[in-house]
Chains A and B, each alone.
Chain A
Amino acid sequence: MKQYDIVVIGGGPAGLAAAISAKKAGVSDLLILERDATLGGILNQCIHNGFGLHTFKEELTGPEYAARFIEQVKEMEVPYKLGAMVLSISPEKVITYMSKTEGLVQISAKAIVLAMGCRERPRGALNIPGFRPAGIYSAGTAQRLMNIEGYSVGKEVVILGSGDIGLIMARRMTLEGANVKVVAELMPYSGGLKRNIVQCLNDFNIPLKLSHTVVGIDGKDRITGVTIAEVDANRQPIPGTEIHYDCDTLLLSCGLIPENELTREIGVEMNRVTSGPNVDDKLQTGAPGVFACGNVLHVHDLVDHVSSEAALAGENAAAYVLAENQTEKTHKVTLKAENGVRYTVPQTIDVENMRDSVTVRFRVADIYHNRAISVYYDGQKITSRKKRVLAPGEMEQVVLKKSSFAEYPDLKEIVICTEEV
């Protein structure tokens, strides 16, 4: 069985950035396994702009952003395999994959970087009642059919869910001549970025109905209409508020789910809020030498953050292989998300062996105005930063410096929370 120092599972934005940084950190014996026929992952179908503002200080399209990383991978001669689908990963880090050219192959790795991305929540998982006709697509599927295959999926469109892909598709379909009638969102706030609501809905006069959901789907063969209704505080439809729309297409943009089937096989501890594995400040999962980054770890809204997170994972995987920074002494501190903070990534920090600083990313549970994000070390407030608006659709972060822990030799718990100010 061939052994690699590092195997990166997935050649999307996370996998590419992880592999590049692992190579830069001095590991050459590495391999990217990508199931699709090209590198770049979902970016290839994201032909709109708005990518790379943080990373490159310019506005790129998805394929352009991906190309920057793919070019680096090629220049640096990072090995990769396309059409290589990983079927399983054992706790001993034996990876089974298959491809058209190689058949079924087993390899082993000293370190693994999980970068499999996420999938869209399907209609079935939403329990939307009604018929099951053609014409109901998750937004990303419709995006692929339009942007990669070159086919329009419909003319009269209703969108359920205001996730970013749904918002982007509202604009995309409008530009392609379709009539996007409404975007209905179950929650009292949008799950997407503010800039997407402005640029994709407001600019095209597409109404966004918050606290609304689909309560009926008509059409036995192809969808002919949907009925939406307002929901109460418990997200239950309010009788009498139904509105019917004739349509031939229903797009769903109701959340993304990290693809962690392989991760579960390794047997690491998972997080119920993120649906990703729990990781430490090195982005290492419960299995030593197995790292995770990007949307498989937690769903991001900006690819720039995916890239920076993945670079860190790649660098740490390299350090693990090269056995750097390994000391006997560890001091693990647990991070807790409280009062409106839904989760944190990472979930633990080894303050003894951490880098100079660690970026803790998280999301809030609701729309909050004029609240502070505060950090407590064992009950003592360390920092507090006031924000005018906090929204679940926008990922937040705090940076914790190693120096800040110097005065807390017995620290057990870090709390990140929102607070009224």
Chain B
Amino acid sequence: MTDIRYDVAVIGGGVIGSAIARELSRYELSVCVIEKEEDVCSGTSKANSAIVHAGYDAKPGSKKAERNVKGNAMMGDLARDLEFEFKRNGSLVLCFADEDMPKLGELYQRGLKNGVEVSILSGDEVRKMEPNITKEVVAALWAPTGGIVCPFGLTIALAENAADNGVEFIFNTAVTDIKKDAEGYVLVTNNGEIKTKAVVNAAGVYADTIHNMVSEKKLHITPRKGDYCLLDKEAGGHVSATVFQLPGKYGKGILVTPTVHGNLLLGPTAVDVEDKEYTATTAAEIADVVKKSAVSVKDIPYRLTITSFSGLRAHEDGDDFVIGEVADAPMFFDAAGIESPGLSSAPAIGVEVAELVAGKFDAKKKENFIAKRKGFVKLAEKSFEERAAKIKENPLYGVIVCRCMDVSEGEIVDAIHRTLGARSLDGIKRRVHQGMGRCQAGFCTSKTMEILSRETGIPMEKICKNSTGSEMLSRKM
């Protein structure tokens, strides 16, 4: 590709890669992020529960527990600095049978050990707090620090801020092999070779494949698929807290939660799959989501389902995060096996890995680091006066493209032209939520394609839903 040698190449533009890149960008280092898709936030980071876990769940002393609690504590400030959507709505873990009470007690104790604020509520107290909780619930664990976040918003904010601080993002580029050389590593990709002194492996479900290219101590990641149902905003107020189920006689449990966008989210299932690209929903799993969610929460208006989707968790055999320099590969750092609570832990993992890597370089911190990032203009959330003023400033803010989510042409144009701007329909959707509403882009697909084509010069026939190969049209008539 070029003769440049980066100090650090981060493989993977998900929430973990983006968090690490953002923290690395505080230092005097040349950093790139290599992403196989056309945009950041295209794998596990885009299809998950969007929960910032309180941290009571993971085993005390595990990497998961520690990073989760740290990440949760960091999320509020980060959301303010980088302007993404985050809300502490609190989490409930429901207990359905008296004989399961000891398990709830265990969870409570674990919460205390992990340093999380937790309390036990009676069934009636829970129903007072959440009137739609079923009568079968006998008690619940309440964790007020639990939260919900826009996973796209978080990842894109981190990535944009990293890019604003000099990190180079290389898209549509998949690492197919890694060679060691005298000065570090040569990454072989579909777009040529990329030279680097250090590598950070944040490749999600592919982190084992990447790790195993350089190390004899093999990792093994199983993609654990989870199917979800997303309900219309009309159902968003059905619960206000995130409602989990105590693992028990109903299996691993399905959560019911509002999202920061005001929808209701149900899921996920947990099915181990072989194929790292297998993100197809199945009828059986969707039926399971429906059945089990009804155990926690009554009268869920399933007819308001607007979409279902599936995501893969990167489950490592060791059942914990794998973070650190690889013993037999100096200057190669793993951030692997980052499954739940990975999203919650991302800010903490970012700092940890960046400090580790920067330490090896003995790198200095930049003086001109830009710590803040302007979020997307969301006109729908503005007051009448603010909105009127914005339209005066740019009339395109007065042209609604997506009726369901109330997204204007001006907001879409912004999403295309800002740092790491959108180049696909999904990229626009993840940034400004166009097409994410009840009609699922039925009305605005053609208009959005026109805007993307006009603003980028990509011909209409080449406009993609996401990566190359997902072209929307076959030909001009």
A131→B286 CA distance, assembly (Å): 13
User: Contacts A35-B400, A134-B464 given: A151-B470 contact, CB under 8 Å?
Assistant: no
Contact B306 A122 (CB under 8 A): yes
Partner of B282, one of A119, A129, A149, A176: A129
Contact B474 A153 (CB under 8 A): yes
Asked whether any CB of chain B lies closer than 8 Å to the CB of A152, the reply is yes
A101→B474 CA distance, assembly (Å): 35
Contact B471 A150 (CB under 8 A): no
Partner of B403, one of A85, A122, A150, A222: A85
Within 8 A of B (CB), among A86-115: 87, 96, 98-104, 106
Nearest CB of A to B62, in Å: 33
Partner of B305, one of A120, A125, A138: A125
Residues of A within 8 A of B391 (CB): 98, 100, 103-104
A131→B461 CA distance, assembly (Å): 22
Contact A152 B465 (CB under 8 A): no
- 8 pairs of A and B residues whose beta carbons are closest in the complex: A124-B307, A221-B469, A122-B440, A134-B465, A104-B388, A134-B470, A103-B391, A221-B470
Asked whether any CB of chain B lies closer than 8 Å to the CB of A332, the reply is no
Nearest CB of A to B326, in Å: 30
Not counting A176-B477, A220-B279, a sample of 7 additional A-B residue pairs whose C-beta atoms are within 8 angstroms of each other reads A35-B403, A96-B384, A101-B398, A106-B384, A129-B285, A132-B279, A216-B280
User: Contacts A129-B281, A131-B279, A134-B472 given: A104-B387 contact, CB under 8 Å?
Assistant: yes
Residues of B within 8 A of A141 (CB): 441-443, 445-446
User: Contacts A104-B391, A144-B446 given: A127-B473 contact, CB under 8 Å?
Assistant: no
Residues of B within 8 A of A249 (CB): 474
Contact A220 B283 (CB under 8 A): no
A98→B384 CA distance, assembly (Å): 10
Partner of B476, one of A120, A124, A151: A151
Nearest CB of B to A59, in Å: 24
Residues of A within 8 A of B471 (CB): 134, 222
Q: Which residue of A lies closest to B304 (CB)?
A: A125
Interface of A is mostly: mixed
A324→B313 CA distance, assembly (Å): 66
Contact A123 B440 (CB under 8 A): yes
Asked whether any CB of chain B lies closer than 8 Å to the CB of A83, the reply is yes
Asked whether any CB of chain B lies closer than 8 Å to the CB of A53, the reply is no
Residues of B within 8 A of A127 (CB): 229, 283, 286, 305, 308
Partner of B306, one of A98, A124, A220, A221: A124
A148→B446 CA distance, assembly (Å): 9
Asked whether any CB of chain B lies closer than 8 Å to the CB of A340, the reply is no
Contact B388 A222 (CB under 8 A): no
Residues of A within 8 A of B472 (CB): 134-135, 153
Residues of B within 8 A of A222 (CB): 469-471
Partner of B442, one of A130, A138, A215, A237: A138
Partner of A85, one of B400, B439, B442, B466: B400
Contact B305 A129 (CB under 8 A): no
Nearest CB of A to B284, in Å: 8
Q: Which residue of A lies closest to B395 (CB)?
A: A100
Contact A217 B442 (CB under 8 A): no
User: Contacts A221-B467, A222-B470, A237-B283 given: A99-B398 contact, CB under 8 Å?
Assistant: yes
Residues of A within 8 A of B445 (CB): 137, 141, 145
User: Contacts A120-B442, A140-B442 given: A221-B384 contact, CB under 8 Å?
Assistant: no
A72→B472 CA distance, assembly (Å): 38
Contact B398 A149 (CB under 8 A): no
Partner of B230, one of A120, A124, A216: A124
Nearest CB of A to B278, in Å: 9
A35→B280 CA distance, assembly (Å): 36
Q: Which residue of B lies closest to A147 (CB)?
A: B477
Hey, what's the 0/1 contact readout for B23-54 against A, CB within 8 Å counting as 1?
00000000000000000000000000000000
Residues of B within 8 A of A221 (CB): 465-470
Residues of A within 8 A of B469 (CB): 221-222
Question: 21 A-B Cβ contacts within 8 A?
Answer: A87-B406, A99-B399, A104-B398, A119-B443, A120-B442, A122-B440, A124-B440, A125-B307, A129-B286, A129-B308, A130-B281, A131-B279, A141-B442, A145-B446, A151-B475, A151-B476, A153-B473, A155-B474, A220-B277, A221-B466, A259-B403
Within 8 A of A (CB), among B282-304: 282-283, 285-286
Asked whether any CB of chain A lies closer than 8 Å to the CB of B376, the reply is no
Nearest CB of B to A148, in Å: 7
A240→B441 CA distance, assembly (Å): 34
A344→B207 CA distance, assembly (Å): 59
User: Contacts A103-B388, A122-B442 given: A150-B306 contact, CB under 8 Å?
Assistant: no
Asked whether any CB of chain A lies closer than 8 Å to the CB of B450, the reply is yes
Residues of B within 8 A of A106 (CB): 384
Asked whether any CB of chain A lies closer than 8 Å to the CB of B392, the reply is yes
Contact A152 B474 (CB under 8 A): yes
Contact A103 B392 (CB under 8 A): yes
Asked whether any CB of chain B lies closer than 8 Å to the CB of A154, the reply is yes
Residues of A within 8 A of B279 (CB): 131-132, 220
Asked whether any CB of chain B lies closer than 8 Å to the CB of A34, the reply is no
Residues of A within 8 A of B466 (CB): 134, 221
Partner of A119, one of B309, B392, B442, B468: B442
Within 8 A of A (CB), among B331-355: none
A125→B309 CA distance, assembly (Å): 12
Which of A96, A132, A220 gathers most chain B CB within 10 Å? A132
A103→B466 CA distance, assembly (Å): 33
Q: Which residue of B lies closest to A178 (CB)?
A: B474
Residues of B within 8 A of A155 (CB): 474
A130→B284 CA distance, assembly (Å): 11
Asked whether any CB of chain B lies closer than 8 Å to the CB of A315, the reply is no
Asked whether any CB of chain A lies closer than 8 Å to the CB of B270, the reply is no
Residues of A within 8 A of B475 (CB): 151-152
Nearest CB of B to A165, in Å: 11
Residues of B within 8 A of A152 (CB): 473-477
Nearest CB of A to B394, in Å: 10
Asked whether any CB of chain B lies closer than 8 Å to the CB of A50, the reply is no
Contact B280 A130 (CB under 8 A): yes
Residues of A within 8 A of B442 (CB): 119-120, 122, 138, 140-141
A100→B476 CA distance, assembly (Å): 29
Nearest CB of A to B105, in Å: 38
A259→B281 CA distance, assembly (Å): 28
Asked whether any CB of chain B lies closer than 8 Å to the CB of A248, the reply is yes
Residues of A within 8 A of B441 (CB): 122, 141
Contact A129 B283 (CB under 8 A): yes
Residues of A within 8 A of B210 (CB): none
Contact A120 B439 (CB under 8 A): yes
A122→B472 CA distance, assembly (Å): 17
A221→B406 CA distance, assembly (Å): 28
Residues of A within 8 A of B377 (CB): none
Residues of B within 8 A of A130 (CB): 280-281
Residues of A within 8 A of B473 (CB): 145, 151-153
Q: Which residue of A lies closest to B227 (CB)?
A: A129
Contact B398 A100 (CB under 8 A): yes
Asked whether any CB of chain B lies closer than 8 Å to the CB of A286, the reply is no
Asked whether any CB of chain A lies closer than 8 Å to the CB of B323, the reply is no
Residues of A within 8 A of B283 (CB): 127, 129, 215, 237
